[in-house]
Amino acid sequence: MKKVVSFLLVLMMVLSITLVSLAEEKPTLSVYFGNESLNKTMVTKFAELHPEINVEHITSDTASAEQVLKTGISAGDAPNVCSYWGTRVNTFYDIGMCKDLRDYLSEETLAKVSPTMQGVATGENGEIYAIPYDAVYHVMFYNKDMMTEYGFEEPKTWDDLTAIFAKLKEDNIFGFCTNSVSMQDCMYGLTYSLLEEIAPGTSLGVASGEVSVLPGTEAGDAISKVINQVKEWYDAGYWYPGDGGISCSADDANAAFAQGRTMFIFNFSGALSTHAGNCDFEIGWQMKPVSEDGMTSYENIEPNVFFIPSNTDEEHSKLAASFLEYVLSQDIQQEVVNAFYIPSVTGYEYKDISTISQEMFVTLDSGNIIPGINPTRTSSAMQIFVKQQVFAAPCGGIMTVDETLEEMERIRLESIQ
């Protein structure tokens, strides 16, 4: 009897060791992206669907993301799947840090993605360096109840907008607000219509660092016209909260809009979730007005994308591809819609989609949304300048308008050397 018991104990120990060994042998998929609720949902759902895989969610500070990822890839120690802004993912694939996903995803899977969004991560020879999973573009949200109360119509031109601002000021209401601390590119989109008037593709040329923006050049004069217009609005006291407009945080701007202290807010489309939760009035949205009647308003689209680092081994590349396929599934794309973002697959039938979100989908196919034209694409230095200084510097008297353009030109030349 003792021998039987001893045998059973030994057998249990062997089985226990074997099970532990098997658990340790489970492959691990590491995914790098933000810690927002939507991102957590993607990781959690994929892990539940694939219990045979250990899924590791890695995050870091947004400001250091580029350096962290490049250091990891160079050292051969990067996550298997990396998330980055679509407009700036070229900073990785231009130096050979991204795999061509055509080797891992079927044509059927790739065909699901909106061509407009995919454009930011497609190489000259059709390489697919990254896959968009959601997107935003910069818009103007407005207080629709206030619009009705005053009898205003959606402004089509800068003059229309200025007239609305002036009327609102009579009642101590600011015309507009924005997150000027870190998202001045929300307003920079006012330049796109003027740049495209010069010649189609000029906006992309500026964003890619291929077109000079010095004072006196066509592109420089177009950008100068926009900066001067915004400065006029600032000097007139239309930009909330007056003198502090050039240093207004996202929270302050969102609160001012929700409280009816300003009628318009320049923001990214994904902020609709914040506004819908905070505002007790109906929200409207529109593309940015143009300088003259008859011109076309254009906007940059900013997808969030996933890429697989070029030195990821084959086993983990295949695991990464399975994650990307799931991200493009209707299940996850519905989660994107639920979060008020624009899904990268617009062909699915979505539930509980807001009217505004639906209108934004339609606008994607209008030809007015162009991938990659935000000058943050040029370089990290340009990204910081456009987001934090392009309007704040001239409005705050730190630089003249010409000096602002000269600084943009200096950064442009530095980026291409």
Burial class (CB in 10 A: 0-12, 13-18, 19+), 170: exposed
Q: Over the stretch 128-157, which tens digit does the pLDDT of each residue have?
A: 999 999 998 999 999 999 999 999 999 999
**Bridge partner list, 58:** 32
| Per-residue pLDDT at 14 exceeds 60 | no
- Which residues, 6 or more positions from 259, have their beta carbon under 8 angstroms from its beta carbon? none
Q: Which pLDDT does position 63 carry in this prediction? A: 67
Q: What number of CA atoms fall less than 13 Å from residue 149's CA on the CB side?
A: 12
Q: Is the pLDDT of residue 7 over 80?
A: no
Task: Write the CB contacts of 342 (distance below 8 Å, at least 6 apart in sequence).
Answer: 134, 135, 136, 137, 269, 270, 336, 357, 360, 361, 364
Confidence of residue 245 (pLDDT cuts 50, 70, 90): confident
List the structure tokens of 140: 């103007």
Give the per-residue pLDDT at 104.
96
Q: Which domains does the chain carry?
A: 27-135+302-364 (3.40.190.10), 137-299+370-416 (3.40.190.10)
Average per-residue pLDDT for the chain = 90
pLDDT at 9: 40
pLDDT tens for each residue of 86-130: 888 988 999 999 999 999 999 999 999 998 899 889 998 999 999
pLDDT band at 353 (very low <50, low <70, confident <90, very high): confident
Is the bond preceding 241 in cis, omega lying within 30 degrees of 0?
yes
C-alpha 202/C-alpha 355 separation (Å) is 33
How many CA atoms lie within 13 Å of 23's alpha carbon, on the beta-carbon side? 6
pLDDT of residue 27: 94
Contact in structure between 213 and 146 (CB atoms under 8 Å): no
DSSP state of 287: P
For 345, which DSSP code?
A: -
Convert the pLDDT of each residue in 216-229 to its tens digit: 999 999 999 999 99
Per cent of the chain over pLDDT 90 is 73
- 318 in Cβ contact with 184 (< 8 Å): no
CA dist 92 and 96 (Å) reads 7
Please give the pLDDT value at position 1. Answer: 47
Q: Give the ranges where 171-259 is alpha helix by DSSP (H).
A: 185-188, 192-198, 202-207, 218-235, 250-258
Residue 66 scores a pLDDT above 90? no
Average pLDDT estimate for 298-324: 95
- 260-301 pLDDT, tens digit per residue, is 999 999 999 989 989 999 999 999 999 999 999 999 999 998
List, for residues 357-393, the tens digit of each pLDDT value.
Answer: 888 888 887 889 988 888 888 888 998 999 999 999 9
In the prediction, which pLDDT does 24 show? Answer: 58
**Sequence-distant (≥ 6) Cβ neighbours of residue 297 within 8 angstroms:** 192, 193, 287, 288, 289, 290, 368
Provide the percentage of residues in the chain whose pLDDT is more than 70.
94
pLDDT category, 55, cuts 50, 70, 90?
Answer: very high
The mean pLDDT of 193-213, rounded to a whole number, is 96
Higher pLDDT among residues 16 and 370, named by residue? 370
Query: Mean of the pLDDT values across residues 324-349?
Result: 93
pLDDT at 347: 87
* 3-class DSSP state of 296: coil
Neighbours of 7 (CB within 10 A): 10
